[in-house]
Amino acid sequence: MLPLVALVGRPNVGKSTLFNALTRTRDALVHDQPGVTRDRNYGVARPEGMRPFAVVDTGGIAGEDEGLAGATARQARAAAEEADLVLFIVDGREGPSALDDDILRWLRKAARPTLLVVNKTDGIDVRAAIAEFARYGFEDVIAVSSAHRQGIDELLEDVMKRLPEEGTSVELDADPERIRVAFIGRPNVGKSTLVNRLLGEERMIASEVPGTTRDAVSVDMERDGRRYRLVDTAGLRRKRSVDEAVEKFSIIKTLAAIEECQVAVVMLDAGEGVTDQDASVLGYALDAGRALVVAVNKWDGQTDYQRQQTENLLVRKLAFVEWAEAVRISAKHGSGLRELFAAIHRAHRSATTEIGTSEVTKAMEIAYETNPPPVVRGHAPKLRFAHPGGVNPPTFIVHGTRLRTLADSYKRYLENFFRKRFKLVGTPVRFIFKEGT
C-alpha cells in the first residue's frame, strides 16, 4: 500500500516548494520530457532507502465554500481527511496568522495524525520561530527550509515513523513468475470492461488478494498458461453509474497501482485521442520507471478515416514514449488481446532481464568507438567504461570524464544504441553518469 501524506497550509507558506523538494526525481533524464503534463498537486516521494509515499498538495483548506475556490477547498479537505499523515505547514518568518488558526481548528476536527512543519527557517532564529507556534500545542515540531532543502531529511525520518504499518506487501514477490499488471487510465476508457472480459473469458478468478489499501483489490489470473496478478485495478470495483466512476477516479489509487505493478497498461479511448489527463497518467508511470504498454481501446467504434487520424495523433502525442508499444484493442469485442499480452510480455522481459557486466562494457565500447561525443570548447567527454546498475527499469552506470558536458543528443544516441543491442522495448532505460573512474 502507498501511504498518503497531505500538505496543508494557507497560501504562500511554501507548500508547493516543499512538494517539489519531496517529490523531485533524482534522475533528470526521466523528468521534463515535452509531452508529459504533470499534475502539480499529486506526486510520489521516493526517498533513498525509505518507503515511497504519495504526496498531495491540498492548496488552501480554509476558504469560502462557493465557486471555484470552494471546490478547491472541498477537494483539499477530502484529500486531507483521507491522508495517513497531515503536514501542517506554517511560515516561520511571519508567525501564526488568523488563517493558520482557522486551519488548525479544522485539522483538530478532522483528527488525522498531524505534524507541524515550520517552513522558511533559513537565516532566522529557528528556536524563536518555533516558539511562536507553541500555543498550537504540537509535541513535535520540525523546522525546515524547503527552498534550501534544509531539514528535509529529518522531516522524512519523522514522516516514516508516523506512517501506518506496511500491510501485506511481503506477498508481492512471493511468485516471481507472476507478472504484476496494472490497467490504468482516466474514467470511461474501458478498464472495467477489459478486466471483466479477461476474468470472465478465462474464468480464472483464482483468488482475490485481500485489499491492502482501503478498497483496492488485486486478482490473480492465468492466460495461455501464464500467471498474472492484476494489481489494484479500478475495473475490479463494481460501479453503478458513470458519475460514480468519475468520482471514484482517484489519482492516489492510480499512483498506488503503478507503485505495485511491473507493467503499467495505460488505456486510452481511440475516439478521444490523447487527453491531458492521459498524458498525466503516462507521466506518473514514467516517473516510477515502470514498463509501459499503451492500449488504445474502442478501436471497434472507429471508421477507417478516424483510425488513420487516430494513428497520426498517437505518433505525434506519444513521441515522448516512443519506446512503448501501442496496441489497438476492443475490450468490448475482445479483439487485440493476444497482441496486448504479447506486448506486456515483451515489456516485462525487457524490464527485468539482467544483462551481464561484460556485455554492457562491450556495448559501451562499441557505441563509443562508432560515434565518440563531439568536442565541446576544446575538450571531448570521455566514456571510460560502463556496467549494469539494476533492472526494472534497466539501468546502466557509465564512468568517464567531463560527463557533465555530454549533450542530450548524445545521451539519446547511447539510449537508442543500448535499446537496439539488448532488444529493450516497452521499458524506460536509465543511464547514470559518474565522473571519474
**Residues near ligand GDP, by CB under 6 A:** 9, 11-17, 119-120, 122, 145-147, 185, 187-193, 235, 245, 297-298, 300-301, 330-332
Contact 315, 56 (CB under 8 A): no
**80, 55 Cβ separation under 8 angstroms:** no
Q: Is 105 exposed, middle or buried (0-12, 13-18, 19+ CB in 10 A)?
A: exposed
CB 397 to ligand GDP: min, Å: 33
Residue 189 counted as an annotated binding residue: yes
Closer CB to ligand GDP, 221 or 383, in the complex: 221
Cell 477516479, residue?
249
DSSP 8-state symbol, 320: G
Which lies closer to ligand GDP via its Cβ, residue 117 or residue 344? 117
Task: Work out the number of other CB atoms within 10 angstroms of the CB of residue 264.
Answer: 29
Interatomic CA distance for residues 133 and 146, integer angstroms: 18
Q: Is there a binding annotation on residue 297? A: yes
Q: Whose Cβ is closer to ligand GDP: residue 212's or residue 330's?
A: 330
- Residue 119 is labelled as binding a ligand: yes
Collapsing DSSP states into helix, strand and coil, what is residue 323? coil
65 is in an annotated binding site: no
Q: Choose between 59 and 394: whose C-beta lies nearer to ligand GDP.
A: 59
First to last CA, the chain: 39
Residue 196 annotated as lining a ligand binding site: no
Min separation Cβ 374 and ligand GDP, Å: 38
CA–CA dist 378, 390 (Å, integer): 34
Nearer to ligand GDP, 12 or 207 (CB): 12
Cell of 294: 499503451
Q: Enumerate residues 6+ apart whose C-beta is below 8 A from 67.
A: none
**12 labelled as ligand-binding?**
yes
Residue 41 assigned as binding residue? no
Nearer to ligand GDP, 35 or 187 (CB): 187
Q: 334 labelled as ligand-binding? A: no
Q: 380: closest CA among 403, 399, 361?
A: 403
Instruction: Tell me phi and psi for residue 354, to 5 degrees.
Output: -80, 135
Cβ atoms of 65 and 73 closer than 8 Å: yes
Least Å from the CB of residue 197 to ligand GDP: 9
- The least CB distance from residue 89 to ligand GDP, in Å, is 7
Q: How far is the CB of 330 from ligand GDP (least distance, A)?
A: 4
Alpha-carbon distances, residue 328 vs 299, 366, 436 (angstroms):
6, 37, 46
Q: In the complex, what is the shortest distance from the CB of residue 56 to ligand GDP, in angstroms, rounded to a whole number?
A: 12
88 versus 228: smaller Cβ distance to ligand GDP: 88
Q: What values do phi and psi take at 330, rounded to 5?
A: -130, 110
Q: Does 9 appear as a known binding residue?
A: yes
| Closest CB 14 distance from ligand GDP, rounded Å | 3
Q: Which residues are annotated as a binding site?
A: 9-16, 57-61, 119-122, 185-192, 232-236, 297-300
Q: Which residues are annotated as a binding site for GTP?
A: 9-16, 57-61, 119-122, 185-192, 232-236, 297-300
